[in-house]
Amino acid sequence: MKVVVQRSLAASCEVDGKITGKINQGMVLLVGFTIGDSKETVDYMVQKVLNLRIFDDENGIMNKSIDRDAASILSISQFTLYGDAKKGNRPSYSKALNGAEAIKLYDYFNEELGKEIHVETGIFGAEMKISLINDGPITIILEKE
């Protein structure tokens, strides 16, 4: 499982001209799954995301995790995180988990995050347009193999 975490001042997801998810301050998560991922993998990643200290404390040092009362998460499924372009110029997605299994883990991921913080989403498998004001910019890649 891979999650690209971006600290956000504002972000939204649009599908077919309609906003499906929108947040102000918080995190945008690009979420991908690979073969072998499980609910245990997701549980680990949920805790990692919620406790990741990428927000400034009173001294301007990145020492705080996301404020669960004042911030939100925009979670976007993205199988292309497992694109492999080592050979040739067209990425192979053979390491990406198939859609039927990935959607179950993606839904579980969002449900578990939602127990702790407000979560907005895109639409799994849809062509999405993501708008983001990246704060910092801060972008961290989390991976559980």
Backbone phi, psi, residue 134, to 5°: -75, 125
| 109 a catalytic residue | no
Annotation says 33 is catalytic: no
Q: Which amino acid, residue 128? A: M
- Residue 73 identity (one-letter amino acid): I
| Angle between the N-to-C axes of helices 39-51 and 99-114, in degrees from 0 to 180, rounded to the nearest 10 | 40
Q: 41: which residues sit within 8 A by CB, 6+ positions away?
A: 1, 105, 144
Q: Which of 6, 34, 55, 79 is catalytic?
A: 79
Q: Which of 6, 78, 109, 121 is catalytic?
A: 78
User: Is 47 annotated in the active site?
Assistant: no
Active site residues: 78-80
